[in-house]
Structure 1
Amino acid sequence: FGEVGLAGEIRNVNAAARRLSEAVRMGFTHAICPADSGSATRNTPVAGLTIAEVADVRDALAALPTN
């Protein structure tokens, strides 16, 4: 989750912890989050969810899981 800026940066959005919890409830196993979301993602233990913090679109693409 996050917003993509014109320069490709991934920006923080509100309610990160709630978004992560809802993602798990919906069956997601991976989340790509803005690096500047700070404690919202680092201090939110979400069982079964792998969280990748990224700064820009390039990092987000590199963080995509491969099967």
Structure 2
Amino acid sequence: MERKKMYGIILFVVGLVFILVNVIVVYPFINCSYAPLTFWILAIVGVSGGILLFFDIRLFSSEED
């Protein structure tokens, strides 16, 4: 398996873990206003980065490739 795909799977799983932590722990027990937002941002970055790396999607591709 390519290194990019492994990093993509790891990032995707980390993003899913952040979603679970946010839903199970942060919302019910932490009354801080920015904590849920921080966990959602980390989850979105993890899941989207994992998808981009796993499927080798290039956001900024050049014509020279």
User: Which TM-score applies when normalising by structure 2?
Assistant: 0.32
Select the structure with the greater relative contact order (CA < 8 A; seq sep ≥ 6).
2
User: Which TM-score applies when normalising by structure 1?
Assistant: 0.31
Greater strand proportion: 1
